[in-house]
Amino acid sequence: MAKHHITATVNGDPVEFLCEPQETLLDALRDQLNLTGTKEGCSTGDCGACSVTVNDRLVCSCLMLAVEADGKSINTIEGMAQGDELHPLQQKFLEHAALQCGICTPGFLVAAKALLDRKPDPSEIEVRYWLAGNLCRCTGYDKIVRAVLDAAQQMRGA
Amino acid sequence: MQEKVKDGQSSPFQVVGTRPVRPDGADKVTGRAKFGADLALPGQLVGKVLRSPHPHARIRSIDASAALALPGVKAVVTRDDFLEQSSEFIPAGEMMINYRDVVRNVMAREKVLYEGHAVAAVAATSAVIAKEALRLIKVDYEVLPHVIDVVEAMRPDAPVLHEDMRTAGLEPAPTTASNVAKQLEIGHGDIAAGFKEADVVIERAFTTKPVHQGYIEPHACVASVSEDGQADVWVSTQGHWVVRAHCARLLGWDIGKVRVTAAEIGGGFGGKTVVYLEPIALALSKKARRPVKMVMTREEVFKASGPTSGAHVRVKIGAKQDGRIVAAEAELKYQAGAFAGSPVQPGAMCAYAPYDIANVKVVGYDVVTNRPKVAAYRAPGGPISEFAVESVIDEIAGKIGIDPIELRLKNAAKQGTKAAYGPKFGPIGMVETLEAAKSHAHWRSPLGKHQGRGVASGFWFNIGGETSVSLGLNEDGTLSLTAGTPDIGGLRASLCMMAAEELGVPLDKIRVQIGDTGQLGYNFLTGGSRSTFSSGMATVEAARDVMKEACRRAAKLWELPDDAVEYSNGGVRPAGPNAGKHAPMSLKEIAGIAGKTGGPIVGYARINAAGAAPSLATHIADVEVDPETGKVSVIRYTAIQDAGRAIHPSYVEGQYQGGVAQGIGWALNEEYIYGDDGKLQNPGFLDYRVPVASDLPMIDTVIVEVPNPRHPYGVRGVGETPIVPPMAAIANAVANATGVRFTDLPMSPPRVLKALDEARAKGTAKV
């Protein structure tokens, strides 16, 4: 089976990699590009731990083939902080203790950023429904929702 | 160990009780933290497991020759690669394990006992080749009749899983095989006399379904065995010393040859206290002479790991007209899955533990069925029995016409109460959580149409156990803290805080890590809500060791007796009548002279932490029931629990909130669904539906603090109790809203709608 040569942009950097035709974007990110911040919880698109954006669209990277990433711009959790400066969502997740084990956290942050990019002033209900595709088994979502609302408020003020 | 404070009113602390950012936080919000599946070693192979398609079958033969011949396949292991083990039950935290069964659960021997049971495993150069190799392994099965339901499994004519299983706990010992592994009884008083005294007696039968821990991170490990037999395992686990012991035992290797490193763990809830992949990965690596990485799929997680028991429970409670409970009885039938060892014992012990009742009798049955072997799940056994008890207590209150909190207050266990399972309680917070519930605004707030409110309490024991910690004073006065209980939900933050409090140094001068099995003495696993309690106790002891040594070094320098130096405010100073005139020295200055005064300063603690104390909770739940669809929505929730002392309140609240969310899932949605073919029909998150953000309200918390006198900071374990009350609190709320009492979990929409329709036909429904 010949491998495919893929050229894409990941977190602003040009990348090239070879992948099998059946390989998911998630596997390519983790295994080819060593970007293991994106997690695999189910491989069926139910848990959201593998959330990334592709051309600014929020996707489960386990449901997308790596070959489909050719020519696309992908953003992962590794691209969220700017230098030493955490993104306000990252900072608020820490301040609100919005993570316990932390396995779902990258997916939540990527998904929450995609929400705030579209809607800087979401209601609690909107946050809960937007994040309904991301499973967290530790927190009961309370502190996650509060962190997202607080980050949104701070970002609007900034 | 000396207690720091005795009253829970004013905080004398600088650090304990504050809410700093956790030390592992930055790594976890940036994707840097390395979990089980995030390690890649040079030359590593992919390991995959062949699993049984049958719920019950005898293995006639396994032929792996074609798989081994496939290019890229480097090793195959089967039952022959693991040592036979004698039958011997040993304590494993809150559960018991038997190595004869552990080896059979890791890799089937004579029979497969559930769909998904491991039969063989391969290591290959790619996942594609490994999967192809599994297809080439020929297993000749003699398919046997299976049994899934616990009551059916107890029938004399049921298919027998283990021909040599005789029910333990019966006199005389039975001579025929049974699926009932054990019968047990706990209690005190005279149950018959108690019921005679009662004015009101209510008896109900309940069922609960097996539910999975549902950690988002599947089981994952990387094993590497070198040519000289030295082995390394990187694994997502709640206890790496326990993994080491199990692996060495199953493979017949020296414990000292195996080093296990705990990865960041993506949730466990009890489910990562046992081994599945680790011994297999080691066996494959030894054969292949290359590192082997193994990661379960979500389907494998559902079919072959966890869950907790499903159960049939009968509860009978008798009370006087004044609300005093005079007799309480329960019968618990818990599924253990394929091997003996359900949590029926702890379930029996905590069924009536929140209450002071003179006459109690609880009988339990541990029953094997053709399902995955249950693993611990947050307060294992407790949520099931206490759901039933708290539901009947609610009914008793209704029948007598007394407020359900008042009824509980009237019967609440207190300091000095003798529990039905044996011990006399020290200070416990049952009354305090009930009083807090009574005075909470939630309890008196108005309810709307189709809404109801329920309250329930819950109990969990908590444990201590073997624990080692080291605390090194670095040359510049900073400190390196190494603990050995994996950090699942903020442990490192709490340990740093206790060390900083004790030493009087800024929090950011201490860096904390979870050490591997080569770096510390034995550590029992993170479970039983023990890690903040036990590793916290050890951390305080290690800090005191450093403080004592710092005093000794200053005494040496100042040429004073040791007792003429005291530790105070992050440094040492002369003290007492024999002290000379010396300027106090900071810990940093002591660190600077360590080399000249005797060498490195390291504090150690090697303890078997005793004095773990129960944590009690009272929860209030409001629900709204949709009369047309049967959907139950939790619209308000308040969790009140005794933490002893909250070291980092945010992570204590987080434990409460997370336990409630899991309890809500257990109450309303989650269940293992089997077909007649004995196969699991919902092995994925789409059909096994855990609560998502849009299902839940904010979950309010109240931290009650009744300090545990046996911990230097008053800590009780807090992680498990929060999952105990939700099922009953919600069932009681649904009964309040609809007039219908639900005794079968989950209260999913089809079930609720059916019950509502039946009640409407009889005219007993309120909606």
Is B539 within 8 Å of B495 (Cβ atoms)?
yes
Tally the C-alpha atoms within 13 A of residue B268's C-alpha that lie toward its C-beta.
Answer: 31
A104 contacts on B by Cβ (under 8 Å): 216, 266
Number of Cβ atoms within 10 Å of the Cβ of A108 = 29
Q: Which of B31, B267, B695 sits opposite A138 (nearest CB)?
A: B267
Residue in B closest to A38 by C-alpha: B31
Whether residue B653 and residue A143 make contact (CB cut-off 8 A), yes or no, is: yes
Whether residue A139 and residue B660 make contact (CB cut-off 8 A), yes or no, is: no
Alpha carbon distance B182, B406 (integer Å)? 37
Whether residue A138 and residue B214 make contact (CB cut-off 8 A), yes or no, is: no
Number of Cβ atoms within 10 Å of the Cβ of B170 = 12
From the candidates A34, A124, A141, which should be mutated to test the interface with B, based on the most B CB atoms within 10 A? A141
Radius of gyration of chain B from Cα atoms?
A: 27
Band (B564; pLDDT cuts 50, 70, 90): very high
Residue with tokens 């009574």, as numbered in its chain: B438
Q: What's the count of helices (H) and strands (E) in chain A, helices before strands? A: 5, 5
pLDDT score recorded for residue B331: 98
A139 contacts on B by Cβ (under 8 Å): 654, 657-658, 661
pLDDT over 50 at B1, yes or no:
no
Is A124 within 8 Å of A149 (Cβ atoms)?
yes
Peptide bond into B746 cis (omega under 30): yes
B266 vs chain A: nearest CA distance in angstroms? Answer: 5
pLDDT over 60 at B3, yes or no:
no
A99 contacts on B by Cβ (under 8 Å): 25, 28-29
Band (B83; pLDDT cuts 50, 70, 90): very high
pLDDT, average across residues B367-379: 97
Average pLDDT, chain B: 96
DSSP B59-73: EEEEE-HHHHHSTTE
Peptide bond into B172 cis (omega under 30): yes
A132 contacts on B by Cβ (under 8 Å): 692-695
Whether residue B651 and residue A100 make contact (CB cut-off 8 A), yes or no, is: yes
- Pair of tokens at residue B456: 């329930």
Helical spans, DSSP H, in B669-710: none
CATH of A88-157, one of 2.70.70.10, 3.40.50.1100, 3.65.10.10, 1.10.150.120: 1.10.150.120
Compute the CA torsion angle B618, B624, B628, B629 (nearest 10 deg). -60
Residue B357 makes CB contacts below 8 A (sequence gap 6+) with: B189, B325, B326, B327, B328, B411, B420
A126 vs chain B: nearest CA distance in angstroms? Answer: 9
Whether residue B651 and residue A102 make contact (CB cut-off 8 A), yes or no, is: no
- Pair of tokens at residue B462: 């908590």
Whether residue B694 and residue A128 make contact (CB cut-off 8 A), yes or no, is: yes
Alpha carbon distance B144, B60 (integer Å)? 12
Alpha carbon distance B430, B642 (integer Å)? 8
Whether residue B488 and residue A36 make contact (CB cut-off 8 A), yes or no, is: no
pLDDT, average across residues B322-329: 98
Q: How large is the greatest C-alpha to C-alpha distance in chain B, in angstroms?
A: 91
From the candidates A142, A144, A148, which should be mutated to test the interface with B, based on the most B CB atoms within 10 A? A142
pLDDT score recorded for residue A1: 62
Residue in B closest to A40 by C-alpha: B217
- Pair of tokens at residue B733: 């709320």
Where does CATH 3.10.20.30 sit in chain A? 4-79
Q: How large is the greatest C-alpha to C-alpha distance in chain A, in angstroms?
A: 53
Helix (H, G, I), strand (E, B) or coil at B483: strand
Band (B188; pLDDT cuts 50, 70, 90): very high
Kindly report, residue by residue over B106-151, the tens digit of the pLDDT.
Answer: 999 999 999 999 999 999 999 999 999 999 999 999 999 999 999 9
Helix (H) or strand (E) holding B337: strand B325-337
Number of Cβ atoms within 10 Å of the Cβ of B434 = 25
A146 contacts on B by Cβ (under 8 Å): 698
Kindly report, residue by residue over B267-299, the tens digit of the pLDDT.
Answer: 999 999 999 999 999 999 999 999 999 999 999
Q: Which of A34, A100, A128 sits opposite B654 (nearest CB)?
A: A100
Whether residue B692 and residue A132 make contact (CB cut-off 8 A), yes or no, is: yes
Kindly report, residue by residue over B502-553, the tens digit of the pLDDT.
Answer: 999 999 999 999 999 999 999 999 999 999 999 999 999 999 999 999 999 9
pLDDT over 70 at B642, yes or no:
yes
A29 vs chain B: nearest CA distance in angstroms? Answer: 12
Alpha carbon distance A150, A121 (integer Å)? 10
Q: Which of A20, A34, A145 sits opposite B693 (nearest CB)?
A: A145
Helix (H, G, I), strand (E, B) or coil at B364: strand
Nearest partner of B277 among B300, B259, B256, B255, judged by Cα = B300
B234 vs chain A: nearest CA distance in angstroms? Answer: 16
Whether residue B693 and residue A31 make contact (CB cut-off 8 A), yes or no, is: no
Whether residue B693 and residue A128 make contact (CB cut-off 8 A), yes or no, is: yes
Alpha carbon distance A62, A44 (integer Å)? 7
Residue in B closest to A133 by C-alpha: B692
Residue B368 makes CB contacts below 8 A (sequence gap 6+) with: B113, B153, B161, B162, B165, B179, B181, B335, B336, B337, B338, B339, B340
Number of Cβ atoms within 10 Å of the Cβ of B686 = 13
Tell me the Ramachandran region of residue A49: left when phi exceeds 0, alpha when psi lies from -120 to 50, beta otherwise: alpha
Can you state the angle between helices A105-118 and A88-95, rounded to 10 degrees? Answer: 130
Residue % of chain B over a pLDDT of 70: 98
Kindly report, residue by residue over A26-77, the tens digit of the pLDDT.
Answer: 999 999 999 999 999 999 999 999 999 999 999 999 999 999 999 999 999 9
Average pLDDT, chain A: 97
Q: Which of A80, A104, A140 sits opposite B216 (nearest CB)?
A: A104
In the 8-state DSSP scheme, what is residue B290? S
- Pair of tokens at residue B595: 């080399």
CB neighbour class for B95 (10 Å; exposed up to 12, middle 13-18, buried from 19): buried
Nearest partner of B695 among B634, B647, B615, B751, judged by Cα = B634
Band (B362; pLDDT cuts 50, 70, 90): very high
Kindly report, residue by residue over A7-16, the tens digit of the pLDDT.
Answer: 999 999 999 9
Question: Edge-to-edge, what's the strand order for the sheet holding B311-319?
Answer: B180-188, B360-368, B325-337, B311-319, B200-208
A115 vs chain B: nearest CA distance in angstroms? Answer: 14
Q: Which of residues 70-129 of A touch B (CB under 8 A)?
A: 76-78, 80-81, 86, 90, 93-97, 99-106, 109, 124-125, 127-129
More confidently predicted of B6 and B215: B215
pLDDT over 70 at B418, yes or no:
yes
The pTM for the full model equals: 0.97
pLDDT, average across residues B472-480: 98
Topology of the domain comprising A4-79: Ubiquitin-like (UB roll) (3.10.20)
pLDDT score recorded for residue A144: 98
Is B83 within 8 Å of B103 (Cβ atoms)?
yes
Alpha carbon distance A100, B526 (integer Å)? 14
pLDDT score recorded for residue B620: 98
Is B57 within 8 Å of B144 (Cβ atoms)?
yes
Whether residue A86 and residue B26 make contact (CB cut-off 8 A), yes or no, is: yes
pLDDT score recorded for residue B5: 44
Can you state the angle between helices A88-95 and A142-157, rounded to 10 degrees? Answer: 140
Band (B95; pLDDT cuts 50, 70, 90): confident
DSSP B79-96: GGGS------EEEETTEE
From the candidates B18, B22, B28, which should be mutated to test the interface with A, based on the most A CB atoms within 10 A? B28
Whether residue B31 and residue A37 make contact (CB cut-off 8 A), yes or no, is: yes
ipTM: 0.98
pLDDT, average across residues B168-191: 96
pLDDT score recorded for residue A6: 98
Helix (H) or strand (E) holding B284: helix B278-288
Alpha carbon distance B418, B358 (integer Å)? 9
Alpha carbon distance A55, B295 (integer Å)? 30
Interstrand relation of B45-51 and B118-124 (parallel, antiparallel or unpaired): antiparallel
- Sign (positive/negative) of CA torsion B208, B211, B213, B216? negative
A51 vs chain B: nearest CA distance in angstroms? Answer: 12
